[in-house]
Structure 1
């Protein structure tokens, strides 16, 4: 594991890296810097129809009132750039699928009406994201209690996330901050000392008297439920369930308590493990128009993983690598791959401010936004039929 000052404390980044630009003409430089100049000169609420029209005319190089594929590619080359002004677009083929999404009538061009949808639903949210920061389960029991992760295979120190999280809370203009807490009743299904309270399913490979911490059993239910057994932890209103005293609590934050149903565990801050009940986290984010979710906390490969895996189905999702600590290194790598495979990002905290400000616009998140629009359009078409 690399030190915190490195690019990634767990693995090398898997996101698309920017491409160093070649020498270019003044006109080409003007095109490339268009969205950089827009984001750095205007706030979201200052964007007008004139800006929308100017962007269209800037990239409509032949002035025919249509964006061709090459013109759309040039627009994307400008749209997806790092804070240092380097393009994330490596090949025109990376955005041809996105072009097809906005070419509604399939005539090979994006006309002004199609462009308006593209601008409002895709370009503006990419340039001006609304970002929520999730601080997941940074609780005493995971740091110095019975489930202190320093005693787990990866030997991570849970408290190491605190200064990283606090810096992000202090320096990044989040649209919303969420703290999540494991919040278990004393008779919770996940506690190994409660295993005798419920019947095991015939398919369970261990008996109640032989189980050990971290074993997985199958309870009879109904429904039959697979459950990993943990030491007693984060019992409601106990010291162990409290957020670590070093974590700064910001005004106006949302607090999500999960795992409070004694019969089912809940790793994700969105859903319980059986997807039977939902917290109000998604509703809170929707109410605030959140587009981007940044995940941090403990444990990287369990509750952070489950939350990020749910988030990536609904939001542009970023895992802040050095703001998370976990249990098993190999499982952390699996979490990262899962998120990256679904157009999410795993980044170092040093990248976050520029991303939230819209100065760093990674094409991976552009694909995520396009995929969500494609899904919405597909559902809308199905409803009409």
Structure 2
């Protein structure tokens, strides 16, 4: 740490000003071939201000210690979790085969690149999620007559078709997209595809188990009433970075990535390891991830990122903003 501080304290005054900090970020944010990633000017200033704890326009040695321990070390030595979402039979060749949806993408396409990552990249933790529905699940169009449709619903029970969105009565009324019966617990359709590599010590996370609430995100159900085991498992492993992929890109993969970002994780979406339902919704998913300081990459880029040799400024900015939020919360608690 001391050597790093001295290396970028160009004028030797015992502080890092924003220009010296800029040189630090140029050394920090680069790929494994030495290409420099530039941090936008506004974001550079925002990050600098996070570590200028006393707002004097410079980072002293104590402030740099905080920066080193809570920012630089995580960027250089991230703790990675690989989350493989719902690569199950029904989404590939079963009742909800996504190749029959409007995007006409083949779920089988994700298996080879995912397997290659599992064989070649040393993730700190690997998770497989599974849609795990009871037979009377609210999302199944076959069950449309089992629940009362709210008067505000744009579609009636009699006219509802697969992929329509209805509104069920309740407090509050519940919007629900209708799918074919899929991934029913303990059936062939709910099993992970036979060609997907299963690694030792991986953790399976089951979602969608409540018959009355759907669950796209692997973190919790769509109403955010009940969480899965994922949050606790990630905290237990001190994970900093989550690599997310699987099926379907614009549904469960996308919802999981958005939640990971909202919770505060550095989130990486794997484009060639994901396939989806609707091309427009896939693009919306990508835009949402990028807008919220997530990163979208192909599997060929993952190994260097996991090993800390390819360090993206978007993820560094995300981490800095999470630190800022934590510091602000502590300040508010102290003032109260």
Give the secondary structure class of the aligned counterpart of 2:250.
coil
Q: Which of the residues 316, 335, 349 maps onto 2:285? A: 335
In structure 1, distance between residues paired with 2:41 and 2:184: 53
Q: 1:74 to 1:218 in 2, by over 3 A?
A: same
Partner of 1:172: 121
In structure 2, distance between residues paired with 1:268 and 1:295: 11
Q: 1:324 to 1:91 in 2, by over 3 A?
A: closer
Q: Which of the residues 287, 305, 324 maps onto 2:274? A: 324
The runs of 4+ residues in structure 1 deviating greater than 6 Å are none
Partner of 2:194: 245
Q: Which of the residues 309, 321, 332 maps onto 1:371? A: 321
Q: Which runs of 5+ in 2 are unaligned?
A: none
Q: 1:128 to 1:209 in 2, by over 3 A?
A: same
In structure 1, distance between residues paired with 2:173 and 2:39: 48
Q: Does 1:267 align with 2:216?
A: yes
- Counterparts in 2 of 1:213-362, with a 5 A limit? 213-313=162-262, 314-362=264-312
How big is each residue's C-alpha offset from its partner over 1:21-49, in whole Å with a ceiling of 9 and x where there is no partner? xxxxxxxxxxxxxxxxxxxxxxxxxxxxx
In structure 2, distance between residues paired with 1:105 and 1:147: 56
How big is each residue's C-alpha offset from its partner over 1:324-344, in whole Å with a ceiling of 9 and x where there is no partner? 000111111100000000000
Q: Which of the residues 115, 140, 146 maps onto 1:197? A: 146
Q: Please, what is the CA RMSD of the aligned residues?
A: 1.0
Q: Which runs of 5+ in 1 are unaligned?
A: 1-51
Give the superposition deviation at 1:354: 0.5
Q: Which of the residues 94, 98, 117 maps onto 1:145? A: 94
Is residue 192–residue 231 contact of structure 1 (8 Å, CA) maintained in 2? yes
How big is each residue's C-alpha offset from its partner over 1:274-330, in whole Å with a ceiling of 9 and x where there is no partner? 111111201100110100001110000000000000001220000000000001111
Q: 1:154 to 1:68 in 2, by over 3 A?
A: same
Partner of 1:62: 11
In structure 2, distance between residues paired with 1:345 and 1:90: 14
Aligned length, in residue pairs? 334
How big is each residue's C-alpha offset from its partner over 1:48-93, in whole Å with a ceiling of 9 and x where there is no partner? xxxx111011111111211111111111110001111011016554
Give the secondary structure class of the aligned counterpart of 2:204.
strand
In structure 2, distance between residues paired with 1:92 and 1:220: 49
TM-score of the aligned structures, taking structure 1 as reference length: 0.85
Partner of 1:10: none
Q: Which of the residues 76, 79, 85 maps onto 1:127? A: 76
